[in-house]
Amino acid sequence: MEIKLKNKKVVKIKDFTIAEEAKLKDIFLKMIKVVDGGVELISPNYNCLLILQMVLNDGSDKALKKMSDDLRIEIALEVQKLLFSGNEKPSK
């Protein structure tokens, strides 16, 4: 599977099993805490790291150290879109 980034770069990610998909969704949901009418991110760097290690074809420390924080966040956000898109309408 691939995701396309804003800079037109393509990143290869793994196909998720149902269990991996559930675990990823749990990580995303645990990252957000509602406070005073807004949201607060809980441990965004660590949770983003967990997500990238699970989804990237090469989630090694060596590969992740080469990425900027902005790139890591963008990849995680694209994965989030993949996971949660289509959940608005129940299947028939």
Domain boundaries, the chain: 2-84
Question: Helix (H) and strand (E) counts for the chain?
Answer: 4, 4
Reported as a single tens digit per residue, the pLDDT across 4-30 is 999 999 999 999 999 999 999 999 888
User: Exposed, middle or buried, 24 (CB in 10 Å: 0-12/13-18/19+)?
Assistant: buried
The per-residue pLDDT for 44 is 82
pLDDT confidence bin for 57, thresholds 50/70/90: very high
What is the pTM assigned to this prediction? 0.80
